[in-house]
């Protein structure tokens, strides 16, 4: 009897003593990740938890269309998640809003990425208006043109066009040949229209684009209405000549089912998409046509006098201003920016936003256009660091182009109004 009591007392004492010690070190942090690859990230997070026994990570998810407003609302009342996946251009505006914690003291520590802070892309976009760093670029991607080799060859296009005019002619040739769609870019409107991207690719191939920085540090609108109009006219010709059908006005996103299905069914010859969508098209095609060789290939966009210019897109990671778990959050960020194991084993379809890591991802032959495009891609630069917010321009450009495409305004009119709106916004916000 006495021995049992002794045992019991000892057992209780041991049990009572152990958990508090363990619990004192156990911390739970929240990580918001908004892309569909949540299961893959969860696996990566499980490995992080194994390597850091005192930290547990709960994942949250908000759909991208609502993610910005949701985060800012939460930051205003102090309930934002510890670590969050952010759109590439958010850290600057979020930092200015006081929603993110400055990271200057943390980025100097060893263990960030393959070769430290200086190896990261787009660091200028991660800097807030006060000069402090608010985000860590995590993944990067860009758009390239995926095309159906057989459809183009059948229309007499042997090599993929490298100029804008040749691209339009190739698209028209496909349409003339069999009534199929050439380059079926979406011309519809929504919160984040594709036409913004392809218009900028066109403008950037010929100059600095809408916003540029002057030598004395000020920002200006660096395109004339005539230059803006040229872009509208270029894409409007696709609609007028019929090789991008009017039905493209009914969809808006670059990964719309109309595009994916069009490419898969052989109804569309070309599409401008990020690598995730290209992979989707290729994978689905292989599932429908087992054993056959894939008819797709990819190429950078046409080049102008300024080269072939797309943007560095992607995601950044940030720590919220109200986070009480900064150390743990930073450990997570360090972990996630290492190619191994996050990118090598789990998040495999994405490229880390670091120069050294660009070559570490292996691309299949069909996707060769992407690493080539990444070589000449440019940062948003003055668009992101300037006084005119990207969402404002994105929406204004999309609406202006849409009104031209649907026939409500002439391209000259729309270009003049757009130029006016952006100039006003710039003047209003530039101190």
Which residues within the stretch 315-344 sit at the binding site for other proteins (CB under 8 A)? none
357 versus 393: smaller Cβ distance to other proteins: 393
60 versus 364: smaller Cβ distance to other proteins: 60
Residue 305 touching other proteins (CB under 8 A): no
Helix H or strand E segment including 402: helix 390-405
Q: Which residue matches tokens 């490298």? A: 162
d(CA 313, CA 298): 18
Residue 59 touching other proteins (CB under 8 A): yes
Residue 60 touching other proteins (CB under 8 A): yes
Side-chain half-sphere of 188: how many Cα atoms within 13 Å?
18
102 versus 304: smaller Cβ distance to other proteins: 102
CB of 196 to other proteins, least distance (A): 12
Residue 280 touching other proteins (CB under 8 A): yes
d(CA 388, CA 211): 8
d(CA 104, CA 319): 12
34 versus 354: smaller Cβ distance to other proteins: 34
For CA atoms 153, 157, 163, 168, the dihedral sign is negative
Tell the burial category of 24 from Cβ atoms under 10 Å away from its Cβ (0-12, 13-18, 19+).
exposed
Residue 284 touching other proteins (CB under 8 A): yes
52 versus 276: smaller Cβ distance to other proteins: 276
Nearest to 296 by CA among 140, 166, 144, 142: 144
x-or-dash string of contact with other proteins, 15-54, rule CB under 8 A: --------------------xx--x---------------
Q: Report the site for other proteins in 383-412 (rule: CB under 8 A).
A: 389, 391-392, 394-395, 398-409
Q: Which residue matches tokens 């684009």? A: 209
Residue 231 touching other proteins (CB under 8 A): no
**What is the 3-class SS of 65-107, one letter each residue?**
HHHHHHHHHHHHHCCCCCEEEEECCHHHHHHHCCCECCCHHHH
Length of the chain: 431
117 versus 141: smaller Cβ distance to other proteins: 141
Question: Which of the ranges 89-97, 145-153, 168-176, 304-312 carries the binding residues for other proteins, by CB under 8 A?
Answer: 89-97
Residue 145 touching other proteins (CB under 8 A): no
Exactly one of 75, 106, 157, 377 binds other proteins (CB under 8 A); which one? Answer: 75
Q: Report the site for other proteins in 185-204 (rule: CB under 8 A).
A: 187-193
CB of 369 to other proteins, least distance (A): 17
Exactly one of 22, 226, 265, 427 binds other proteins (CB under 8 A); which one? Answer: 265
* Residues in binding contact with other proteins, number by CB under 8 A: 81
Cβ atoms 164, 205 nearer than 8 A: yes
Exactly one of 89, 223, 264, 270 binds other proteins (CB under 8 A); which one? Answer: 264
Q: Residue 410, Cβ neighbours under 10 Å: how many?
A: 15
CB of 116 to other proteins, least distance (A): 29
Exactly one of 26, 69, 159, 240 binds other proteins (CB under 8 A); which one? Answer: 69
52 versus 189: smaller Cβ distance to other proteins: 189
d(CA 297, CA 153): 12
1 versus 287: smaller Cβ distance to other proteins: 287
CB of 197 to other proteins, least distance (A): 12
CA 100 to chain centre: 20
Strands 268-274 and 181-183: parallel
Q: Report the site for other proteins in 201-230 (rule: CB under 8 A).
A: none
113 versus 352: smaller Cβ distance to other proteins: 352
For CA atoms 229, 232, 237, 240, the dihedral sign is negative
């Amino acid at each position: 009897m006495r021995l049992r009591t002794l045992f019991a007392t000892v057992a209780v004492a041991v049990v009572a003593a152990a958990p508090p010690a363990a619990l004192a070190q156990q911390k739970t942090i929240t990580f918001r990740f908004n892309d569909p690859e949540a299961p893959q990230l969860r696996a990566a997070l499980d490995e992080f938890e194994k390597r850091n026994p005192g930290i547990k990570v709960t994942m949250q998810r908000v759909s991208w269309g609502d993610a910005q407003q949701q985060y800012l609302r939460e930051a205003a009342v102090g309930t934002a998640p510890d670590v969050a996946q952010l759109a590439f251009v958010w850290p600057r505006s979020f930092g200015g809003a006081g929603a993110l914690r400055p990271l200057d003291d943390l980025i100097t520590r060893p263990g960030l990425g393959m070769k430290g802070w200086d190896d990261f892309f787009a660091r200028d976009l991660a800097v807030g208006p006060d000069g402090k760093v608010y985000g860590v670029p995590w993944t990067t991607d860009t758009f390239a043109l995926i095309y159906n080799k057989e459809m183009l060859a059948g229309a007499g296009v042997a090599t993929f066009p490298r100029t804008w005019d040749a691209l339009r002619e190739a698209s028209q040739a496909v349409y003339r040949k069999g009534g199929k769609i050439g380059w079926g870019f979406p011309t519809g409107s929504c919160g984040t229209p594709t036409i913004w991207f392809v218009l900028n690719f066109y403008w950037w191939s010929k100059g600095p684009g809408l916003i540029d920085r002057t030598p004395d540090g000020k920002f200006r609108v660096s395109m004339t209405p005539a230059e803006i109009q040229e872009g509208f006219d270029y894409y409007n010709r696709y609609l007028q000549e019929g090789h991008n059908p009017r039905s493209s006005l009914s969809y808006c996103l670059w990964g719309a089912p109309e595009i994916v299905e069009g490419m898969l069914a052989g109804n569309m010859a070309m599409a401008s998409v990020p690598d995730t969508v290209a992979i989707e098209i290729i994978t689905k095609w292989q599932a429908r046509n087992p054993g056959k060789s894939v008819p797709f290939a990819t190429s950078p966009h046409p080049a102008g006098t300024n080269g072939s210019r797309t943007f560095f897109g992607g995601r950044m990671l940030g720590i919220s201003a109200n986070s009480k778990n900064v150390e743990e959050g930073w450990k997570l960020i360090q972990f996630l920016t290492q190619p191994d194991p996050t990118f090598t084993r789990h998040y495999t379809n994405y490229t880390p936003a670091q120069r050294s890591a660009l070559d570490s991802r292996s691309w299949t032959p069909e996707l060769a256009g992407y690493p080539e495009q990444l070589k000449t891609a440019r940062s948003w630069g003055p668009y992101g660091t300037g006084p005119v917010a990207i969402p404002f321009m994105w929406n204004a450009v999309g609406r202006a182009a849409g009104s031209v495409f649907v026939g409500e305004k002439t391209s000259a009119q729309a270009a003049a109004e757009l130029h006016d709106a952006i100039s006003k916004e710039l003047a209003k916000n530039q101190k």
